[in-house]
């Protein structure tokens, strides 16, 4: 989610809030994070509020729409035994969709956080989410995936997540 494209996203302020909640929750649950930037020279850097939550994580720069077409990204996913990838970002019908389709073709399970993705046109997002579901992705929401990963109440992580989603 980069400076020059972000303001054009449908409901962009809500999108930013959901992405920040998702990132903070993932950090609480100690889920490893990766960040990519699409053509940062033209679209600008990652939004500052997101960068502040992602300190210490170097962005993988890409020019291909699918993250899987970027050798550094492909190398990173090849280094892990993880098969499930939780995805947020923009634009739903371009970079997110193509990455999801490629992950499925590589026998990974993409979990797309619908309220943490967007497109300029809401219809493009709607069609993209349906296509991702048809391709084999799981579609979820920020709150749902955080509580799914937390699993039980009463823990410090649960309490933090509960506060994040309020």
Using CA atoms of 143, 97, 130, 122 in order, give the dihedral in degrees to the nearest 10. 80
Mean pLDDT of the chain: 96
The confidence score (pLDDT) of residue 54 equals 96
Percent of the chain whose pLDDT exceeds 90: 99
The confidence score (pLDDT) of residue 128 equals 98
Mean pLDDT of 9-14: 96
Is domain 6-165 in CATH 1.25.60.10, yes or no?
A: no
Q: Give which of 43, 23, 25, 41 is closest to 33, Cα–Cα.
A: 23
The alpha-helical segments, DSSP class H, found in 29-141 are 40-43, 48-53, 71-78, 97-105, 122-135
Note the pTM of the prediction, 2 decimals. 0.96
The confidence score (pLDDT) of residue 47 equals 95
Q: Band of the pLDDT at 62, cuts 50, 70, 90?
A: very high
108-158 pLDDT, tens digit per residue, is 999 999 999 999 999 999 999 999 999 999 999 999 999 999 999 999 999
The confidence score (pLDDT) of residue 134 equals 98
């Amino acid at each position: 989610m980069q400076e020059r494209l972000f303001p054009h996203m449908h409901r962009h302020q809500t999108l930013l809030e959901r992405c920040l909640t998702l990132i903070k929750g993932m950090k609480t649950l100690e889920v490893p994070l990766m960040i990519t930037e699409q053509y940062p020279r033209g679209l600008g850097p990652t939004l500052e509020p997101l960068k502040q939550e992602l300190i210490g994580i170097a962005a993988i720069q890409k020019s291909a729409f699918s993250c899987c077409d970027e050798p550094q990204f492909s190398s990173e996913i090849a280094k892990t035994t993880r098969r499930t990838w939780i995805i947020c970002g923009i634009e739903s019908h371009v970079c997110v969709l193509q990455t999801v389709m490629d992950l499925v073709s590589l026998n990974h399970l993409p979990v797309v956080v619908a309220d943490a993705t967007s497109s300029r046109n809401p219809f493009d997002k709607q069609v993209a989410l349906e296509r991702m579901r048809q391709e084999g992705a799981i579609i979820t929401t920020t709150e749902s995936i955080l509580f799914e990963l937390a699993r039980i109440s009463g823990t410090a992580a649960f309490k933090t997540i509960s506060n994040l989603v309020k």
